[in-house]
Structure 1
Amino acid sequence: MSKENLFKWKHYQPEIILLTVRWYLRYNLSFRNLEEMMWERGLSMAHTTIMRWVHQNGPDLIGEFVVISSRPMARGE
């Protein structure tokens, strides 16, 4: 499924959604912590919206994250 179809009809830009979900999966942050972080950056969203994004897009990102993090990194990456 292409990126355009995955985020069709979403209120926020795909980059914001992916960044927020990635921060939740990578760091030990709560949905309310992420809500506050986004508010500090000028974006108003509810913690339940972030939770919905994690539930919808998290499994796909976990699969990509495991593949990317399991390969050896070259110098300068």
Structure 2
Amino acid sequence: MKNRKVRVGTSLRLDETYIKVKGIWCYLYRAVDKLGNTVDFLLTRKTQRMSAQSFLIKAIN
């Protein structure tokens, strides 16, 4: 019998917010599933739309 990863759901959304970390303002991108659980996150100093999109694609896979 082989073990397989079973996808329960691939419905994710990307949340973006601006937060202060150790006195420095940063963008926080979170991949959130349909239940509101954080799947993964990305913290950057500058807004990076392309990085955020590739981050979301990696979070799905």
> Which TM-score applies when normalising by structure 2?
0.30
> Which TM-score applies when normalising by structure 1?
0.25
Higher helix proportion (structure 1 or 2): 1
Higher strand proportion (structure 1 or 2): 2
